[in-house]
Amino acid sequence: MFDLSSFIYLGIHGGSLAPGMADLVNLIVVFFEGLTSKPLGELFFALIPGVNSLPNIHPLIIHFPIVLFPTFFIVDVIGSLTKNKELRQMASGLLYLGAISSVLTVIAGFQAASNVPHGLEVHDILEKHKWYGLVVALLGLILSVWRFRARLFFCKEANVFHLISSALLCAVLTLGADLGGLMVYKFGIGVEAASSAGDSLLHEHGLDKK
C-alpha cells in the first residue's frame, strides 16, 4: 500500500521546507491517516477525545451561557447608548440563545451533581453553585419573555430596569462560574487526577524541570 506520510516526510526533508514546517506537515498527514484507519463509530471520539472522557456533558455546554449572556449585555448597552436598533436586535438573539443554553446547562448540572462523587465540604459549594445556576436560568427566561413581548419598545424607565436586571444576571453568572471553577481546580470534582509519579511527569511551559 502506498504510504503517503512516508512519501511526504522524505520529500520534506529533501530541503524544500523548514524543519519546523516539515514536522507540522508530517504531523497533519499522520493524523489524517490515523483517522482513515478508524471505524466510523470511533471517528467522532478520535476527533474530539475530550468529550469521550467527560463523566457528563455539563462542562461541555456551560461555556455557552458564560459567553452568550455577557456578550448580550455588552451589545445591548452599546445599542441602548447609541440608539442602534440593529445592535439591540442582535442582543435579543444572544439573550434567547443564552436562556436556552442556561436551561440545558442547569439540567445537565443536576444530572452531574447526582453522579459525581464529592465530600461534605464540596457539597455546600455545590448547593450554592446550583442555586446560582437556577437564578441565572430564571432571569434569562424572564428577560427573554419580556424582551420578546416588548419588541424593543421599552420606555426609558423600563429600559434602565432591563439593563440593571441584565447586569445582575451577569453578576450571578460570574459568582456561579467562580464556584464551579473552585470545585474543579481546587477539589478536582469530576476530574481524573494525574498521579505525580516523579519529576519526569512535570512540565512547565518555557522551562525544563530540573
Give the count of beta carbons closer than 10 Å to the beta carbon of residue 187: 15
| pLDDT tens-digit profile, the chain (210 residues) | 444 444 444 444 444 545 567 677 766 666 666 656 666 556 555 666 666 666 678 888 999 999 999 999 999 999 999 999 999 999 999 999 999 999 999 999 998 888 777 777 788 899 999 999 999 999 999 999 999 999 888 899 999 999 999 999 999 999 999 999 998 888 877 676 544 444 444 555 555 544
Q: 148 by DSSP, 3-state: which?
A: helix
Tell me the DSSP string of 99-138: HHHHHHHHHHHHHHHHHS---HHHHHHHHHHHHHHHHHHH
Output 84-88 pairs: Cβ under 8 A, ≥24 positions apart: 85/152, 88/152
As beta bridge partners, residue 1 has: none
As beta bridge partners, residue 204 has: 207
State the cell numbers at 98: 443564552
Is the CB of residue 165 less than 8 Å from the CB of residue 143? yes
Tell me how far apart the alpha carbons of residues 194 and 196 are, in angstroms, rounded to a whole number.
6
What DSSP designation does 187 have?
A: T
